A and B are shown apart, each in its own frame.
Chain A
Amino acid sequence: MKALSRMSSRSRQFLNFAVTFLSVMLCILILPTRMPGMELLGIGPNWLLIWLVAWSIKRKRTVWGAASMGLVLGFLQDAMTAPHPTHAVSLVVVGVLTVVLQKTWSIPVDIVERDPIPIALIVFGMAVVAETVMGLQFFAMGDRALLEIWSYHQRVALCSAILSSLWAPVIYFPLNRLWEMTRNLEKP
């Protein structure tokens, strides 16, 4: 803490940026792994979605910021799989929805920070939304049958939602703590 408070505001900003960048990198690098206990029917948690919700739930975020962050993460996930249909749409929807949810319901931040249940619930809902948007995109592309998409969607949405919500606190709490630390230091 002491070492941190001696740093100049510029280097603290850089530290904040580095935390954000490195955590995104970490999420991307765990995406292709399937560690024991982290998969259900061959489906793992959606780490980028958890990261996006953790980022968007903070009080200062704007709708535009969340949308562009969703775009960035979506492009990165496209790069890891296949560019059509893009993952950006589902992640932009998730980012915007999270910010709107946070603003309209004005979820008390201190409760979210202490209790793992609200963040897990939000991630659960957002995972279902994201997989539904992906399913709709596959339907719009028209190379898969609707029945096939529907039956696959049920499996994917449920597994992804359960796993993502269970693993959400693992991403959210350390990240939030780091962000809080650097932000508190910026206050005079």
Chain B
Amino acid sequence: MLKNTFRKWWDLRLQIALLGLAVTAAWGVRQTQGAAVFEVYNWVTRPFHANGSGQEELISARTQELQAQLLELENQNQKLKELLGYVSAKKPKGIVAPIVGRSADHWWQQVTLGRGSNDGIKTDFTVMSPGGLVGRVVSVTPNTSLVLLVSDATSQLGVGITRSRHMGFMRGKGGNQAVMEFFENVPNVKPGDVVSTSSYSQLFPPGLPVGKVVSVDMNKTPAPEAVVEFSAPMNALEWAVVYPHSKQAEPNDSQAQSSAASEGAQQQ
């Protein structure tokens, strides 16, 4: 009798201890943003990673991206010709990374890349793919990095119409579309216009191609809205290129450049 009660009590205590241990362990995993889990995932799925065979399919998307980029650069060039003291910035070299996983739940639009801090990726880096802007790195482990896509409802970015240079901000709608809200009351915009990131956007460098305007609603209050379709195929991503970008580094860079420019001017 006594032995039985003791045994029951002991079982209960063991159960509580096990459950407590499980909760603590899960809490630990959550606090480290699942670093261990993603590392294991990367290791397990390594044989199935894309190996570049599907790249031909993406060439047409790549052409579209280049066209959009050209249009953007032409317009930008025109503006810049009017300005003095312009120093051309060198485009940084990108890190090519395979996409090894999608979002682990249904409410977030995320992808996992198969490269991490070992390859030099840091948080806040910009992620591009054939077609245009894809998203932003939100967390990094040694061999993987988690990317928040621009199609997520929480990622807002400053964008502009390339043709008319009218500005606004864009909010992801999930899937392949986003909604752009204009700052002007009567913006010069029509379906087919190319949308790119503006210099107002803090999380992304300016001038990256984002997508095309599909439809415009001028009567929307408080501001006119346009539906934008991403030029990158959000649902069929296989590869991405990660470019360095950080909010802190930029002012320093431009300061360094402007001081170098003034030095050059003094020497002349």
Contact = CB atoms under 8 A, between A and B. Distances in A.
A7 interface: no
Interface string A75-89: 111111111000100
B34 A80 contact: yes
B107 interface: yes
A100 interface: no
Contacts of A41: 175
A128 B22 CA distance: 26
B37 A28 contact: yes
B73 interface: no
B41 interface: yes
Contacts of A29: 37, 40-41, 44-45
A87 B34 contact: no
Given A32-B102, A33-B45, A42-B175, A79 B112 contact: no
A34 B106 CA distance: 12
Contacts of B34: 76, 79-80
Nearest to B108: A81
Contacts of B102: 32-34, 42, 44
B258 interface: no
Nearest to A90: B105
Contact of A32 (B22, B103, B106): B103
B162 to A, nearest CB: 27
Interface in A21-76: 25, 28-29, 31-34, 41-44, 46, 64-65, 68-69, 71-76
Contacts of A44: 102
Contacts of B153: 143-144, 148, 152
A69 B26 CA distance: 10
B101 A156 contact: no
A68 B23 contact: yes
Interface residues of B, number: 36
B15 interface: yes
Interface string B23-39: 10111011011100110
Interface string A156-184: 10011000000000000000000000000
Give the dominant DSSP class at A's interface. helix
B196 to A, nearest CB: 24
A76 B108 contact: no
B142 interface: no
Contact of B106 (A82, A143, A144, A160): A160
Given A32-B112, A33-B45, A148-B173, A76 B26 contact: yes
Taking chain B's interface residues, is the majority helix, strand, or loop, or is none over half, making it mixed?
mixed
Contacts of A152: 107, 153, 174
A65 B102 CA distance: 31
B106 A72 contact: no
A25 B30 CA distance: 14
Contacts of A34: 102
B76 interface: no
Nearest to B22: A72
B124 to A, nearest CB: 15
Nearest to B156: A143
Residue in A32, A81, A156 whose Cβ sees the most chain B Cβ within 10 Å: A32
Contacts of A79: 29-30, 32-34, 37
A46 B103 CA distance: 11
A134 to B, nearest CB: 6
A146 B23 CA distance: 33
Contact of B26 (A46, A64, A72): A72
A81 B15 contact: no
Given A32-B102, A68-B23, A72-B22, A138 B107 contact: yes
Centre residue among B37, B100, B105 by max chain A CB count within 10 A:
B105
B235 interface: yes
Given A32-B103, A43-B106, A138-B107, A68 B173 contact: no
Interface of A: 25, 28-29, 31-34, 41-44, 46, 64-65, 68-69, 71-83, 87, 131, 134, 138, 143-144, 148, 152, 156, 159-160
